[in-house]
Amino acid sequence: MSKLLELFQGRTSSPPPLWFMRQAGRHLPEYRQVRKTCKTFFDLCYTPHLAAQVTLQPLERFDYDAAILFSDILVIPDALGQKVSFEEGTGPLLSPLSLSTFPKSLSFEGFFEKLAPVYEAISLIRSKLSPSKALIGFAGAPWTLALYMLEGRGNRDFAKAKHQAFQDEENFSKFLDFLSEAVSLHLIEQVKAGVHSVQLFDTWAGHCPATHFQKWVLKPTQKIVAMVRKISDVPIIGFPKGIGSHLLDYGSQSGVSALSLDASTPLTWASENLPKDLIFQGNLDPLLLVSGGNPLKKTIESIHGQMKGRPYIFNLGHGILPQTPLPHIEACVKWVRELK
């Protein structure tokens, strides 16, 4: 059994299990090779044998304990009928969506048909994955998805999206409910197809004002956890990036099994103030992995020291950056494996 699943079942081990967010992707030459054969990024996400291939690539190179499904958080808006494309250099572009036209502009019609190749990729990955490795599925959290969908792209402040949310809170709450349902359904299908765990990426949770955190971040997360829990006790990892002391509420009230911590979270503070049985994940600055050498080694040891006495998964505070030198990843994995 995978060390990651053993941890979720309550068996803590040292060294900790390890995987990295965005471990499949542009830093790997073999990924870039496969990517070149597809016209669009979604062609890769929706071609099961290719999605399976790039999911497994990082495990062929590095001794990770888990694979993460190769897909994207923006398959949900795509499956709900919003046009999504990926431009080289600018990131995702979504067709304009106005909160005032919701719910007319989106629908569940064709949702599962559109996402069927994702579930097919999961079955394929499971048929090839060693029993000692786990497969992690994922989705974007409603708040983060709503920002992309209303803004039409990723940017620094999501001003257009937040303006709409502030001006029509009632409809925005309905929009978040609708997205919570879509996310839950997508996660449940992933579980049925064979993922061992799921991660909820709330990458832009830190953009939510404190006054609205309960309503816009915490409540949708609780809904999703409750819906998934109705059909499965699959471990759910929450990644509410950049929320600072709101981690106290998120950690104790969201219902997630594990909490992925960004690089700015002080681990001793988190450890002292969050439920003792809550599994931690993450925290290593992705730029330290780019930088490498002794500072990287010292930080790995420091994280391990601060996590002592609590179950944790070694990971980054955010995704691997495309410029990360592969020998640094190799060294990092080796140093984690040598921890006592």
One-letter identity of residue 126: R
Nearest-approach distance from CB 288 to ligand 1CP, in angstroms: 17
Q: Which is nearer to ligand 1CP, 40 or 268 (CB)?
A: 40
- Using CA atoms, how far residue 190 sits from 150, 186, 205, in Å, is 26, 6, 23
Q: Which is nearer to ligand 1CP, 28 or 306 (CB)?
A: 28
Question: Using the rule CB under 6 A, which residue among 51, 52, 57, 72 binds ligand 1CP?
Answer: 72
Instruction: Give the 3-state secondary structure of residue 334.
Output: helix
Q: Which stretch binds ligand 1CP (CB under 6 A): 19-27, 210-218, 250-258, 265-273?
A: 19-27
Task: Write the Ramachandran bin of 255: left for phi over 0, alpha for psi from -120 to 50, otherwise beta.
Answer: left
**Does residue number 24 form part of the binding site for ligand 1CP (CB under 6 A)?**
yes
Who's near 250: CB < 8 A, 6+ residues apart?
A: 217, 218, 221, 238, 240, 243, 256, 259
DSSP β-ladder status, 91-94 and 84-87: antiparallel
Nearest-approach distance from CB 318 to ligand 1CP, in angstroms: 6
**Is cis: bond before 103, omega within 30 of 0?**
yes
Nearest-approach distance from CB 301 to ligand 1CP, in angstroms: 25
* Residue at shortest CB range from ligand 1CP: 154
Instruction: Cite the active site residues.
Output: 22, 26, 35, 72, 148
Instruction: Give the 3-state secondary structure of residue 158.
Output: coil
One-letter identity of residue 42: F
Question: Using the rule CB under 6 A, which residue among 34, 50, 56, 74 binds ligand 1CP?
Answer: 74
Residue 218 · residue 240 · CB < 8 Å: no
Only one residue has tokens 């699943």, namely: 5
Task: Restricting to residues 299-328, name those near ligand 1CP by CB under 6 A.
Answer: 319
Question: Using the rule CB under 6 A, which residue among 15, 41, 85, 105 binds ligand 1CP?
Answer: 41
- Using CA atoms, how far residue 123 sits from 69, 195, 207, in Å, is 11, 9, 35
Q: Which is nearer to ligand 1CP, 265 or 306 (CB)?
A: 265
Helix (H) or strand (E) holding 204: none
Task: Restricting to residues 148-207, name those near ligand 1CP by CB under 6 A.
Answer: 154, 201, 203
Q: Which is nearer to ligand 1CP, 125 or 270 (CB)?
A: 125
Give the footprint of ligand 1CP on this chain (CB under 6 A): 21-26, 35, 41, 68, 70, 72-74, 86, 91-92, 138, 154, 201, 203, 319
